[in-house]
Amino acid sequence: MTAFNTKNGVLHAENVALRDIAEQHQTPTYVYSRSALTETFKRFQAGLLGHEHLICFAVKANPSLAILNLFARLGAGFDIVSGGELARVIAAGGDPKKVVFSGVGKSHSEIQSALEAGILCFNVESINELHRIQQVAAKLGKIAPISLRVNPNVDAKTHPYISTGLKNNKFGVAFEDALDLYQQAAQMPNIAVHGVDCHIGSQITELSPFLDALDKVLGLVDALTERNIHIQHIDVGGGVGITYNDETPPEFATYTAAIMQKLAGRGVKVLFEPGRALVGNAGVLLTKVEYLKLGESKNFAIVDAAMNDLMRPALYDAYHNITTIAESPTQAQTYEVVGPVCESGDFLGHDRSLAIAEGDYLAIHSAGAYGMSMSSNYNTRARAAEVLVDGDQVHVIREREQIADLFKLERTLP
């Protein structure tokens, strides 16, 4: 079954017409497909069966409890970047022993809760963080498993805001320093060196940056072995891109085969941290056309979703395909698809040809990754509802926020 498919001119999520969801749950609403999530995960895993591996879903891409729970049931681990994400994974029934903890700013209390939960590995991003982890672990009488996140200085050829593997950004430790830092780590009484980690960026659509980075990592692993530091796992990070428009990212099978080929005969476990690739095309954002505003030089379709619901277009100039959910008798025109937020940057799509009338619904595609997770309450807008379709069932996995929720933590002065 195709997750999002058109039957008799009507767009469906699995067996449910999106119009029915819009009418029953209102808009804006994120709609995910269970079969898309499951099938995508299984497709990623298919190339890894027979090798010791762990797929650690990058929680930041979509931290919905229901989605984390679904992946946990499929055997996934998780890549987290905060104590909050750890709490979510645990609340969703994820196994902390399958969690890797990335991020440049881990606080004392985050390190403590990760040690108490017994996570699989800290992906350490600086020498000072290493010292901090040693200190917290010593206080708790625990041994902290670590990898160093090394920065291989390869160009991921993606948007600069989501490229992380180059020398001049804040992530990881410089490749040239890694050997020395590993030797220091190996001497620390409450640190156990378990792996090497590397993540070079996101929405990467070519294979070569991944392989260049892995070659450097393997060179490091060999140098460590010579110094009697034995690595149990290699974490190759996330970053595999998806098709939003006309991108042609590598197939999962091609990507995993190329990686496994480089690891052949090494006897190390391999960890992956995919986010977008597992969820991006498993979700759409449903929205309603509020107004059509026809102008001399531009026509605007003003919809009820905005940059606070889906920030990617405003932040990265990202493209998301936008379609109607049913055939319409109206004439197609070219529109700027914009939201109600008071910013010129509040757009969802430029120059889109759409046959629409006020009151029609639109689907904003490829919204399953970094959509809801980056949403905000800007302009005091309540966050969208989220539903997950499973065959002909629609499950509300997050209710629409109520306006009163938005200021319930606030106080006026006495």
Which residues are part of the catalytic machinery? 342
Region of 33-41, 184-192, 272-280, 382-390 interacting with ligand LLP (CB under 6 A): 272-280
Complex with ligand LLP: residue 61 or 363, whichever CB lies closer: 61
The one-letter code for the residue type at 86 is: L
Distance CA 273, CA 276 (A): 10
Based on the number of CB atoms within 10 Å of its own CB, is 357 exposed (0-12), middle (13-18) or buried (19 or more)? exposed
Show contacts with ligand LLP in window 225-264 (CB under 6 A).
237-240
Does residue 126 touch ligand LLP according to CB under 6 A? no
Stretch that binds ligand LLP, among 2-10, 83-91, 273-281, 377-385 (CB under 6 A): 273-281
Q: Which residue, 37 or 61, is less far from ligand LLP as judged by CB?
A: 61
Closer residue to ligand LLP (CB): 54 or 240: 240
- Can you read off the two tokens belonging to residue 176? 């040239």
277 binds ligand LLP (CB under 6 A): yes
Token pair for 113: 């809760």
Question: Pairing between strand 29-33 and 233-235?
Answer: unpaired
If binding means CB under 6 A, how many residues of this protein chain bind ligand LLP? 21
Note the Cα 178 to chain centre separation in Å: 27
Our finding on whether 320 is near ligand LLP (CB under 6 A) is no
Alpha helices in 104-174 (DSSP H): 108-117, 127-140
Q: Which is nearer to ligand LLP, 28 or 274 (CB)?
A: 274
Nearest to 154 by CA among 58, 39, 236, 55: 236
Query: Please, which of residues 153-172 interact with ligand LLP by CB under 6 A?
Result: 162
Amino acid in the structure at residue 219: G
Site string for ligand LLP, 53-82 (x = CB under 6 A): -----x--x-----------------x---
**CA–CA separation, 163 and 204 (whole Å):** 9
Least Å distance, CB 174 to ligand LLP, is 17
Distance in Å, CB of 316 to ligand LLP, minimum: 6
Site for ligand LLP in 199-228 (CB under 6 A): 199, 202-203
Cβ of residue 103: shortest distance to ligand LLP, in angstroms? 7
Looking up tokens 């030797």, which residue turns up? 183
Closer Cβ to ligand LLP, 47 or 274, answer by number: 274
Interface residues for ligand LLP in 101-120 (CB under 6 A)? 102
Dihedral sign from CA coordinates of 297, 299, 304, 309:
negative
CB neighbour class for 316 (10 Å; exposed up to 12, middle 13-18, buried from 19)? middle
Backbone angles phi, psi at 272, to 5 degrees: -120, 150
> Which residue's CB is nearer to ligand LLP, number 61 or number 178?
61
- Which of 346, 373, 351, 356 is closest to 283 using CA atoms? 373
Q: Using CB under 6 A, list all residues that contact ligand LLP.
A: 58, 61, 79, 102, 162, 199, 202-203, 237-240, 273-277, 312, 316, 370, 374
